[in-house]
Amino acid sequence: MTEVPGLLHGPELPAAGVPARLFFRDGALHVTRENAEDLVVPAAALSVSVTGFNESTLQLDWQRDGHTHAVTVSDPRAHQVLLAHAPAELSGHLRRGHSTMHWHRRKWNTVLGIVAGFALLVLVAWWQSEAITAWLAQRVPLETEIHIGEQALSQLQFEHELTQEGAAAQAIAGIGTRLTQGSRYQYRWYLSDDREVNAYALPGGIVVVNAGMIDAADDADELAGVLAHEVQHVEQRHTLQQMIHTAGWAAVLAVVLGDVSAITAIVVHQLGNLRNSRKLEAAADVEGMRALARAGIPPGGMVSLFRKLEGEQRRRGGDGIPLLHSHPATADRIADLEQLAATLDCACQALTIDWKSIQAESKEWQRSN
C-alpha cells in the first residue's frame, strides 16, 4: 500500500496541522499518525479542494461532530500517488483539482509569452518601421489626404499671405504642371509672402513656395529643382509616412507606459513640426531629378541651388537658412546629385522664362503686403 505524507487538521489540533501519513484502502481514506488512533473516512464523505498560498496543495476534508477535519498534501509527487490510487468516486474530483493547480503555470506561461511576443513585435516594427509606414501611407484614401492638406493650408493662411495670382505664382504653376504630368493628384501652387528661403509640400497636392525662395533662386531652372523635390514628397506620401510613424510610436509608448496624456502632448507637438527624415529627403532628390529629366528641364538647377545655399549657410553660420534645417545639403548629398545628373539621359532645354521680371514682380507683391 502506498502512503503519502500530509498534514492533519482538526478542531483540537494546532493550526499548523500535525504530520500524518495517508493512503487509500477498500474505498476509504486511512490517516495514521504517531501516538494516536488511525482515522478511517469513507470516500463518499470526502470532498476535494485546492488550497494553499498559491493553490498548490490538495485538501481532502470531511465533517464529524459538526466540525471540519482535513488532510492537506503539498508534495507534487504525493499528488500523483493519490491520483493513481484514489477510489473511482474520488478520482474525478482529484483530477479536476490537479488541473486547477496546473492552470496557474499555464497562465503565467501565456502571460510571459504575450509579453515576449509584444516585445518582439515592437522590435520588428522598429527594424521595419519605414517599410511599414510606407505601406500604411499607401493605404490612406486620397480624400483623407486632401482633407489633411486643406487643414494644414488653412493653418498656413492664418500666418502668411498666400496667392495664386501674379506672374511669379503663374510661373510656379507652369513649371509645376510640366513636372506633374499624369499624376493622380490635383496640384495647387501657392506663393507665400514669407521671406525665409523655403518651400514645402502639404499632403494631397498643395505646394507652397516662399517669396524668399524666388529671391534666392538665380533662374527658373533652380526653382524647377525645388518644385521637383517638393512634388516628390507629395507623390511618395512622405508627410503621411511621418505622421503615421509618429502616431505609431506614440501608440506603442502609450501601451508600454500606460500614460495617455503625455503621449497626446508629444503627438500634437510632433505634428506641429513635421520633418521628413534624411532618407525620405534623399528619395525626393533622386526621384525629383528623374522627373525633371522626364519633363525636359535641366536637372542641374537643383544641384546649383543646393550648392549655393550651402555656401550661404557656411557664411552665415549659426542658425543659417531654414530650408537647410529640413533639407540638409551636405557635400555628400550634392556630390550624389551631380553624379546622378551626369548619368541622366535628357533632351533638356533651359526654361525660357524672364526670371528677372518675375523676381521684380514678386518683390513688388511683398512690398504691397
Range in contact with other proteins (rule: CB under 8 A) among 34-42, 52-60, 164-172, 338-346:
52-60
| Degrees, nearest 5: CA angle 107-108-114 | 90
- Indicate which single residue of 100, 186, 264, 277 sits in contact with other proteins (rule: CB under 8 A): 264
Length of the chain: 369
**What helix, strand, coil percent values describe the chain, rounded to 5?**
60, 15, 25
Binding mask 161-200 for other proteins (x = CB under 8 A): ----------------------------------------
Report the C-alpha gap between 158 and 231 in whole angstroms: 23
Taking the complex as a whole, how short is the minimal distance between the CB of residue 217 and other proteins, in angstroms? 35
Report the C-alpha gap between 67 and 203 in whole angstroms: 78
- Indicate which single residue of 3, 55, 196, 338 sits in contact with other proteins (rule: CB under 8 A): 55
Q: Work out whether 9 is an interface residue with other proteins (CB under 8 A).
A: yes
Q: Work out whether 349 is an interface residue with other proteins (CB under 8 A).
A: no
- Indicate which single residue of 42, 52, 92, 117 sits in contact with other proteins (rule: CB under 8 A): 52
Q: Work out whether 70 is an interface residue with other proteins (CB under 8 A).
A: yes
| Count of beta carbons in the 10 Å neighbourhood of residue 61 | 17
Q: Work out whether 239 is an interface residue with other proteins (CB under 8 A).
A: no
- Indicate which single residue of 1, 14, 35, 318 sits in contact with other proteins (rule: CB under 8 A): 14
Closer residue to other proteins (CB): 61 or 219: 61
What sign has the CA pseudo-torsion 342, 345, 351, 352?
positive
Range in contact with other proteins (rule: CB under 8 A) among 67-75, 89-97, 311-319, 353-361:
67-75
CB 7 within 8 A of CB 59: no
Closer residue to other proteins (CB): 17 or 328: 17
Q: Measuring CA to CA, which residue among 218, 222, 214 is closest to residue 168?
A: 214
Binding mask 271-290 for other proteins (x = CB under 8 A): x-------------------
Site for other proteins in 107-126 (CB under 8 A): 107-108, 111
Taking the complex as a whole, how short is the minimal distance between the CB of residue 200 and other proteins, in angstroms? 19
- Indicate which single residue of 4, 7, 29, 201 sits in contact with other proteins (rule: CB under 8 A): 7
- Which residues partner with 64 through β-bridges? 67
Q: Work out whether 59 is an interface residue with other proteins (CB under 8 A).
A: yes
Q: How far is CA 368 from CA 33, 168, 211, 361, 363, in A?
A: 107, 15, 13, 11, 9
Residue 138 amino acid letter: Q
Helices assigned H by DSSP within 128-218: 129-138, 142-159, 166-179, 211-216
What sign has the CA pseudo-torsion 27, 28, 34, 37?
negative
Paired sense of beta strands 188-192 and 206-210, if any: parallel
- Indicate which single residue of 260, 335, 350, 360 sits in contact with other proteins (rule: CB under 8 A): 260
- Indicate which single residue of 3, 10, 122, 183 sits in contact with other proteins (rule: CB under 8 A): 10
Phi, psi of 3 (to 5 degrees): -100, 150
Q: Work out whether 68 is an interface residue with other proteins (CB under 8 A).
A: yes
Taking the complex as a whole, how short is the minimal distance between the CB of residue 211 and other proteins, in angstroms? 29
Binding-site ranges for other proteins (CB under 8 A): 7, 9-11, 14-17, 51-55, 57, 59, 61, 67-70, 72, 74, 104-105, 107-108, 111, 147, 151, 260-261, 264, 268, 271
